[in-house]
């Protein structure tokens, strides 16, 4: 990225900062990274626990020449970039849980990290900016008690300490390549996401939408939504709800 790397010892949220800078006219390519966040944000209005030293907390401000509908594909690109960076630095192969989670390969997948992409659209339907936020649990030896049952860290999973700077540098390099790939062909990136995630095809899932249902995944729609064949036989598209492994 051609922008600056902005490092904070402590900040409310790299995501909030990147968006404020975007609105104030900052160029794309800026990287915001913090050792600690006091108000880290996750998807769906959740907080993102961000203790000092244990995790990677980074937001990349991009101003890609893409349509606002491509925001989900940008998130897939960030997931692929994180997966490749973790493979490169640790040798471990993590899984991507549609749409935006970094997880240990199942059964019994545990969350290792997540992606939050927040974007704004111009009147012509193109993206004004995309703030691509990634949190990865690197070296936690214990997880916060309320997350213990659903999450873990790379250190706990692989048994090795993970160098944060190496993951950051590998991630930024991979994300740069992935964003070029999205510019080239969003459909090809969605296809690659489907190939690198064990959740997109033939996975039995529980969908947490209003009426909650279980079924088997059947690939992605052209827009990147997850298709699920419900136990009733009906095929549905998952929009907002998260998916969990079903037994």
Tell me the per-residue interface mask from 72 to 111 with ligand BTN, x by CB under 6 A, - otherwise. -----------------------------x----------
Q: Which of 40-48, 149-157, 159-167, 209-217 is the region at the interface with ligand BTN (rule: CB under 6 A)?
A: 40-48
46 lies in the binding site for ligand BTN (CB under 6 A) = yes
Please, which residues bridge with residue 227 across strands?
237
Q: What is d(CA 141, CA 137) in angstroms, rounded to the nearest whole number?
A: 10
Q: What is d(CA 144, CA 45) in angstroms, rounded to the nearest whole number?
A: 18
Q: Which of 22-30, 51-59, 207-215, 218-226 is the region at the interface with ligand BTN (rule: CB under 6 A)?
A: 51-59
15 lies in the binding site for ligand BTN (CB under 6 A) = yes
Site for ligand BTN in 104-133 (CB under 6 A): 114-116, 133
Site for ligand BTN in 143-202 (CB under 6 A): none
Residues 6+ apart with CB under 8 A from 98: 197, 199, 200, 217, 220, 226, 238, 243
Cα first-last separation, the chain: 43
Q: Using the Cα atoms of residue 58, residue 59, residue 60 and residue 64 in order, give the sign of their dihedral.
A: positive
Residues contributing to the site for ligand BTN (CB under 6 A):
13-15, 37, 40-43, 46, 48, 57-59, 101, 114-116, 133-135
């Amino acid at each position: 990225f051609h922008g600056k790397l902005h490092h904070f010892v402590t900040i409310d949220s790299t995501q909030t900062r990147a968006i404020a800078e975007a609105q104030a006219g900052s160029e794309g390519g800026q990287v915001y990274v913090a050792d600690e966040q006091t108000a880290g944000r996750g998807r769906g209005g959740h907080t993102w626990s961000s203790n000092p030293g244990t995790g990677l907390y980074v937001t990349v401000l991009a101003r890609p020449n893409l349509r606002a509908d491509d925001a989900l594909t940008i998130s897939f690109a960030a997931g692929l970039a994180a997966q490749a960076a973790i493979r490169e630095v640790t040798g471990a192969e993590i899984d991507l849980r549609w749409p935006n989670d970094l997880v240990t390969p199942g059964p019994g997948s545990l969350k290792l990290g997540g992606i939050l992409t927040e974007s704004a659209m111009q009147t012509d339907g193109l993206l004004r900016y995309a703030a691509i936020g990634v949190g990865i649990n690197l070296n936690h030896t214990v997880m916060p008690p309320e997350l213990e049952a659903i999450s873990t860290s790379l250190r706990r999973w692989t048994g090795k300490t993970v160098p944060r700077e190496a993951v950051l540098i590998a991630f930024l390099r991979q994300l740069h390549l992935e964003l070029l790939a999205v510019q080239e062909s969003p459909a090809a990136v969605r296809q690659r996401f489907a190939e690198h995630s064990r959740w997109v095809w033939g996975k039995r899932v529980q969908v947490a939408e209003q009426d909650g249902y279980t079924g088997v995944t059947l690939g992605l729609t052209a827009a990147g939504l997850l298709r699920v064949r419900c136990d009733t036989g009906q095929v549905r598209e998952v929009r907002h709800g998260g998916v969990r492994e079903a037994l």
